[in-house]
Amino acid sequence: MAAADKKADPMSCQVVLAGAVAKDLLTEVSEGLSKLGKSPLLVGFLANTDPAARKYADWTDRTCRENGFKFEVREVDREDLEANVLAANEDDGVDGIIVYYPIFGNRQDQYLQQVTDVSKDVEGLSHRYIFKLYHNERFLDKNMSQKSLLPCTPLAVLKILDFLRVYNSILPYGNRLFGRSITVVNRSETVGRPLAALLANDGACVYSVDVTGVQQFTRGEGIRKSRHEVVEKEGWGLETCVPLSDVVICGVPGDSFKLPTKLLREGAVCINFSTEKNFEGDVKDKASIYVPAIGKVTIVMLLRNLLRLVQNREVRMDSKEQALKTILSQRV
């Protein structure tokens, strides 16, 4: 009788671990690496005492070495960080650069994000990449031979949604989230806002939530616009947008925030990208799929971006060589 009275674990909720998603994506990365004929070097700059940054650096080191990439962490004083990044920009032996934030925790960090040369910015935070993201442009050049980079954490969330079949493969590429309503609880400039833009650019109706309120990101009625637009939702809060959402994505730093399970619609997909647990313990009572962390996928996206940097560099070199041959042939 006691066993019968004991509450059973929710059987309708599938918990998906980041490692399962990362495994498939690593195959794609390995295939790309095999075509390079070299092991790209990623340099990580650690200039803080944040345990999460240290953990991220350790994960990056292990994942790089397990998958044929070279990784070197350089611990520097934050006052010397800019000079060290500039030196790495000029070092031909360095293929990619990552800086583990926060450093100063203010606008100076935004400045430092632009110090890394765009050709080595593995995080995809340089202005050129962010501009392309917000304008829904996928390539850096008119010939569409160099793909733009996306920030690693937002890209990881997109890959997880694709793995979970939230993207509708029947629809045309670029519209595959049409009909989906998604709430993103975080509107930081490095993760939350870019993520909302990417989801909306792919066709979703996105409710972006932070302490100031709710903004709606969409491509307009019938996704007729080529890129997203933003509308303030006056008077809205979590209690308004979460019950409307097929997917709820949380990334609030600190351990004080918990999204109330009672707000979730039945069968919602819930993804947590904070280092803390943003969902209440009973989230599986309402969710159909729960992803408790995404770190391992984020690191694979870091390697994917590193590959893309090297591939783009090779395209530029080939273009220069071809241009030089054309000039020389005209002189003969």
Coil vs helix vs strand at 49: coil
Counting DSSP H helices and E strands in the chain, the numbers are 10, 11
Please list, residue by residue across 53-66, b when 16 or more beta carbons sit within 10 angstroms of its beta carbon and e when fewer do: beebbeebbebbee
pLDDT category at 219 given cuts 50, 70, 90 is very high
Q: What is the pLDDT of residue 6?
A: 47
Closest to 160 in 3D by CA, of 17, 304, 307, 13: 17
Percent of the chain scoring above 70 in pLDDT = 92
CB atoms within 10 A of CB 174: 15
Q: Where are the beta strands (DSSP E) in 4-157?
A: 14-15, 41-46, 70-75, 96-100
Q: What is the pLDDT of residue 296?
A: 93
- 187-214: average pLDDT: 97
- 302-310: average pLDDT: 96
pLDDT category at 257 given cuts 50, 70, 90 is very high
Closest to 90 in 3D by CA, of 122, 117, 112: 117
Whole-model pTM: value is 0.91
Q: What is the pLDDT of residue 4?
A: 47
pLDDT category at 9 given cuts 50, 70, 90 is low
Tens-digit pLDDT profile for residues 269-305: 999 999 899 999 999 999 999 999 999 999 999 999 9
**Rounded-to-integer distance, Cα 259 and Cα 263, Å:** 8
pLDDT category at 2 given cuts 50, 70, 90 is very low
Tens-digit pLDDT profile for residues 98-137: 999 989 988 899 999 999 999 999 999 999 999 999 999 9
Give the residue numbers marked as catalytic.
152
Structure tokens at 305: 């971006």
- 147-167: average pLDDT: 97
Q: Where are the beta strands (DSSP E) in 91-204?
A: 96-100, 181-185
pLDDT category at 321 given cuts 50, 70, 90 is low
